[in-house]
Structure 1
């Protein structure tokens, strides 16, 4: 019988940072120690649902606490549960399997359940020697049933046992789920510079370069905006962080949802707590950005990608050339409006998708003209389920020089901007 459960965000490989929440649960391995990573939101919600179901639950974030593998194992010896729940991802698998092998060696009789929205993309042969089962999909929605099923190896939604080679369909959170508040209190929140939350999950767009619809599903499911506003205010008042980041890939896809959320947020807190979002350009209309700014939105991550109608169409970002032109106009308008409303705008640009010198030049000219506050350049990664990357049409050194020029065209705010924000919420 399982009564106690310990959730684990495993240690990174030496010299790296395992960002398991990144890229819709596909994960990101940052090639520097103590690099950027999202706090383990999957653990916070997972701990909360099992705690609500009556289990004795704890959490270890080895990445946040900067624990080595030996130090993590020493810590676990003082907290041996009936079940280990371990967060794993395809892109951090080298670190994950290293930890799982050590865990099995030290605790051979304790069952191990793997979780992660994209964990089921890890081949069965790679994880099955080291774990009892894997829960595919949205862990917070399937964990209670999975933990109840484990002792007798009974079936449950999304539960993939090590002795079964055929993967199940991932369990997905439905529309308007009722969830407990995330159990950040069970994790080392003092080391996190921000906390995260979500108002929706999944994406119905078909961009061929994007892993988000693979990790979070290809149908968009939303939470009640009033519940999300309550959670954000609770996070700010309980933990006092200067930043709160929404992990939704398409925060503003439903304008009325955003308006309701903003209205509920301003009704509950004055001033409202600071929050950040990401989205496509065409969703971020001037009217919506105005309401978001008044409700405390401080930063928008804008999925610009590339200024090339042909590539936008070829990779299914937009349906046709006319839509591509409208998309580019919407991006320019979103950047201008963010600046007008006092919202930081970080434009995300994508390379490695077969771009030419002319297309890079067009993107650079766009950045130079419209001057977002920041630019982040990402290289296309062929995550599981995505197409193979095209051959690079440009030398690597040419791309690096281009990236440096893009940064020179940005217009970061003065440091005092953030200092004022922190004073408001101190």
Structure 2
């Protein structure tokens, strides 16, 4: 079918789903920002809708513990009608966004059955056939799709066959067909900078709700300087989404975007969202040295974590001088056996201790991510992780419960062993703080109680051993976001009460 008038595209980031006691995180959705820029460069009229920033405190109850934050479905439909697009694109980065994407696609198709609906993101990339069966989506584009989206739209507009579009999933004569994702953009410098202007950054600045909540200035924006990962961690789907080759933007191109962000939007801080910012050490040093030499000064941190094994005193010192005030250490486990044999993460705990010590020496705040409850993990190994997190005396740490991520090796293993199903869409918003699995050595209830206890304890340890960081953080929260006090009090109170009462009934989840 040809769509000769296909010229006007509306890309939508859906509402967020999270625990009801949380304050929502609101950050520019880089996926649709990059796609919007590529479409605009190709000559299309583009509109971007971030359903969260439009109504961050508008809360729709999903169940007793879970809420959806952002525009309601009908409000989103009203925006679509007002924009009058020729096609709609729905972003679905996280699995717990799928129920919203599914409902929106059904409403759009019921109201405008001839208008093509496109979908992309990690969840439909890895569960594409199931998503096509579950929702009236016309096309799914796997993985990064700045080039494949432009290719697809050109073919639809000209009435040409779509069967050669890289990573495309589509319907043909009642059947679902799909192409593998084989093409990844090698020259990232040729991509236009994200279309932040279509999302109005001032709204994000006023809200001061960045990713991981940490900031020094509310005038912060994200930046991504690399894609892909050279590692093969079994719990992670990054290599399947972005490819196994680590691809980078040149230091010159990255610094040019930083110049643009300062001049165009007046930012004071960067959120560097790379998974592996410092893997290419020479490029990283060029970026940091360029930041030092610039007439502006930007604070920055790494909300997605950083590759600990790439850091040393020289690198950390350069990072500090370039404006880095916090690194989030993606440690995952305090058990070397779990790291090496179970999740195959190329990290030594002795290196973590060294980097933690050196970062403190140069004046960089350290926080960390940990995961417990991996299939096959023993209670002793879990206890080692908790002990290790405490021993590091970090400013803060986050302890998550493992849930199989579609596209990861452990997800495929969990499917094979019957621990999960493809239909488990993580409907609950707290997918990182609860689980449906247990083992002979631990239960879901025990891990959830442990998470609650450590959540409270991490604040006390951070306050005792890093008082300056602790009070600076909460002073900024209260200065720019007084509502934080309400959510912090509610969340802490509920956590303490649940820990003391432990009312949650014991369940009989799948054994791992």
TM range (shorter): 0.7 to 0.9
Q: Gaps (5+ residues) in structure 1?
A: 19-28
Q: Could you tell me whether the CA contact under 8 Å between 2:329 and 2:368 is conserved in 1?
A: yes
Q: Could you tell me whether the CA contact under 8 Å between 1:230 and 1:265 is conserved in 2?
A: no
Q: Could you tell me whether the CA contact under 8 Å between 2:9 and 2:45 is conserved in 1?
A: yes
Q: Hey, what's the Cα distance between the residues in 2 that align with 1:97 and 1:377?
A: 30
Pair 1:49 & 2:38 matched: yes
Match of 2:361 in 1: 340
Match of 1:235 in 2: 261
Pair 1:295 & 2:343 matched: no
Partner SS, residue 245 of structure 1: strand
Q: Hey, what's the Cα distance between the residues in 2 that align with 1:119 and 1:417?
A: 36
Counterpart selection for 1:284 from 301, 307, 311: 311
Match of 1:23 in 2: none
Match of 2:73 in 1: 69
Q: Hey, what's the Cα distance between the residues in 1 that align with 2:122 and 2:406?
A: 13
Q: Could you tell me whether the CA contact under 8 Å between 1:208 and 1:317 is conserved in 2?
A: yes
Q: Hey, what's the Cα distance between the residues in 2 that align with 1:285 and 1:146?
A: 45
Q: Which has the higher contact order (CA 8 A, sep 6+)?
A: 2
Counterpart selection for 2:198 from 169, 186, 190: 186
Counterpart selection for 2:247 from 198, 216, 221: 221
Q: Could you tell me whether the CA contact under 8 Å between 2:36 and 2:46 is conserved in 1?
A: yes
Q: Gaps (5+ residues) in structure 2?
A: 55-69, 209-219, 420-436, 480-512
Q: Hey, what's the Cα distance between the residues in 1 that align with 2:203 and 2:371?
A: 31
Q: Hey, what's the Cα distance between the residues in 2 that align with 1:358 and 1:375?
A: 20
Question: How many pairs does the alignment contain?
Answer: 402
Counterpart selection for 1:86 from 90, 95, 99: 90
Q: Hey, what's the Cα distance between the residues in 2 that align with 1:345 and 1:360?
A: 21
TM-score, normalising length from structure 2? 0.72
Counterpart selection for 2:155 from 126, 144, 149: 149
Q: Hey, what's the Cα distance between the residues in 2 that align with 1:297 and 1:355?
A: 35
Counterpart selection for 1:116 from 117, 121, 127: 121
Q: Could you tell me whether the CA contact under 8 Å between 1:290 and 1:341 is conserved in 2?
A: yes
Match of 2:351 in 1: 330
Counterpart selection for 2:106 from 98, 101, 104: 101
Q: Hey, what's the Cα distance between the residues in 2 that align with 1:243 and 1:272?
A: 5
Partner SS, residue 366 of structure 2: strand
Match of 1:5 in 2: 9
TM-score, normalising length from structure 1? 0.85
Partner SS, residue 190 of structure 2: coil
Change (3 A) 1:32 1:133: farther
Pair 1:409 & 2:418 matched: no
Residue 200 of structure 1: how far off its partner (Å): 0.9
Q: Could you tell me whether the CA contact under 8 Å between 2:367 and 2:397 is conserved in 1?
A: yes
